[in-house]
Amino acid sequence: MSITTDLTDRYLGAAVKHAPERQRADLERELRASIEDALEPRIDAGEPVDAAERAVLNGLGDPEKLVADWLDRPLHLIGPAVFLLWKKLLIWGLAVLVPITVVAVYLIQSLVQRDLVAPIGDAIGAGLSVAMHVAFWVTLAFAIVERSTDALRSIRKQWTVDDLPSRTPGRGEQLAEGIIQLVAVGALVFALAWQQFNSIYEADGQPVPLFEPSLWLWWWPFAIAVTLLGAIVQLVRRFDLVSAWVNLAGQVLVTVPAVWLTVTGAAFNTVFLERLRDEVQAWPVLDGTAIDTGFGGAVIAIGAILAIGGAWDAVEGFRKARKPRTVLAG
Amino acid sequence: MDELSSLEQHRQELRRGTVVLACLAQLREPGYGYGLLETLERAGFDVEANTLYPLLRRLEKQGLLTSEWNTEESRPRKFYRSTADGEAALAALRTEWRALSSAIDALGA
């Protein structure tokens, strides 16, 4: 009775496979009738059965797509309703979690392994793995939301003008930032000079500075000069890409050695540390290991704060440079 | 070439909504998938089978159409017919269509 062949059966099989069990029989029956209806006039007109069948099935197209349309299923992972939110969350997740992981893993591993090169690989590996986790889980959550009508409705937010990004930071803001940097440099120089001549410990009648005195030969002049230069660039330029790159270069030149000096302990005066250690050890509750762990933890914490602060400042420079400029009419 | 295909895209977009209107109008009398496809083609609606069949299901899910299997003939077919809601939707769409049509004419004049 049926005029169709194996090809139609295969097409129907491929189609209903994607439908829920209880809808399959109905769907297959209706689709088969439609195919046969389309075949009949072609065969009556003298077209060979297999050629007619091919033409009709090709006309219907990919069975999986047909059934998806039929059942009103989305043919995309994340649709336009939530795409922008997905993108924003993904970028934020990556921008926040990946740098923190890389820096933290590097600092901890360099301390544990007592090596500065090998931990680079560990840090990059950990960063990649965090990036993949963030991308996967955020996307999975949004793909589920996309397929749940209620969730989709609740997450949708009407855009209003309040969501517009704020205007380009003005000249005043830029000046303020430059001045804050200048004040910070001044305070740093003062604090460094002060600690050189005032200390809680004395040796041979001379104060024992907290920081390693030989750093005055190269590190402090270098760091002060670079920071000063950065502050001046902030003062004379608007927030633009040039000032962002100068800021990034300054951060790299100062922060990387600063973190290294801190984490390796090279920044600190050994005499000062020994005196401090002796004093703490006199305290009966603490043993040697506890003190070492405490020092190690404090050093990592300072290094992490320096690194994250520097990275944040560098990124902030680019973010400000990217803000839209106010277009003046006329 | 590009100009032609973008024109074709605009035409398709313009027609998309009219298929719903045509289906609701035609299915005041019961009809089945392929039969409706033929009728619409003859009436000048150039609609594809893989667009029409899913559309019928969707309209049924929205309550604008209702369906029933007819097994009296040699080939069992699913017949669709518009509901009261479907009638109301048809009237609303028709009004919209006329309003648009006269608005477009007014623009051109």
Residue A201: exposed, middle, or buried by beta-carbon count in 10 A (0-12, 13-18, 19+)?
A: middle
Nearest to B57 among A59, A61, A70 (CB): A70
pLDDT score for B94: 94
Residue with tokens 């020994």: A274
Chain A environment of B77 (Cβ under 8 Å)? 30, 33, 37
Residue with the bigger pLDDT between A187 and A126: it is: A126
Q: Cα(A172)–Cα(A193) distance, rounded to whole angstroms?
A: 32
- Token digits for A118? 């090998």
Segment B30-43 mean pLDDT = 92
Could you tell me which residues come within 8 angstroms of residue A126 by beta carbon, excluding any fewer than 6 positions away? A101, A102, A105
pLDDT score for A329: 42
Per-residue pLDDT band for A330 (boundaries 50, 70, 90) equals very low
Q: Does the beta-carbon distance from A60 to B49 stay under 8 Å?
A: yes
- Distance of residue A30 Cα from the nearest chain B Cα, in angstroms: 6
pLDDT digits (tens, 9 = 90+) for A30-77: 999 999 999 988 999 998 988 999 999 999 999 999 999 888 888 889
Domain boundaries, chain A: 6-70, 83-163, 171-322
Segment B25-35 mean pLDDT = 92
Proportion of chain A above pLDDT 70, given as a percent: 88
**CB-based contact, B71 to chain A, within 8 Å:** no
Q: Which of A167-171, A183-187, A188-192, A198-202 has the lowest mean pLDDT?
A: A167-171
Contact A234, A178 (CB under 8 A): yes
pLDDT digits (tens, 9 = 90+) for B62-81: 999 999 998 888 888 999 99
Is residue A242's pLDDT more than 60? yes
Is residue A327's pLDDT more than 60? no
What chain A residue is nearest to B34 in terms of C-alpha separation?
Answer: A34
pLDDT digits (tens, 9 = 90+) for A266-299: 888 888 888 877 777 776 666 667 777 777 788 8
pLDDT score for A152: 67
- Token digits for A104? 């933290």
Is residue A222's pLDDT more than 70? yes
- List of domains in chain B: 18-108 (1.10.10.10)
Segment B73-100 mean pLDDT = 92
Chain B environment of A30 (Cβ under 8 Å)? 33, 53, 77-78
- Token digits for B85? 């809601």
Residue with tokens 């024109």: B7
Could you tell me which residues come within 8 angstroms of residue A158 by beta carbon, excluding any fewer than 6 positions away? none
CB-facing half-sphere around the CA of A108: CA atoms within 13 A: 9
- ipTM at complex level: 0.83
Nearest to A33 among B48, B50, B76 (CB): B76
- Distance of residue A37 Cα from the nearest chain B Cα, in angstroms: 6
Is residue A225's pLDDT more than 80? yes
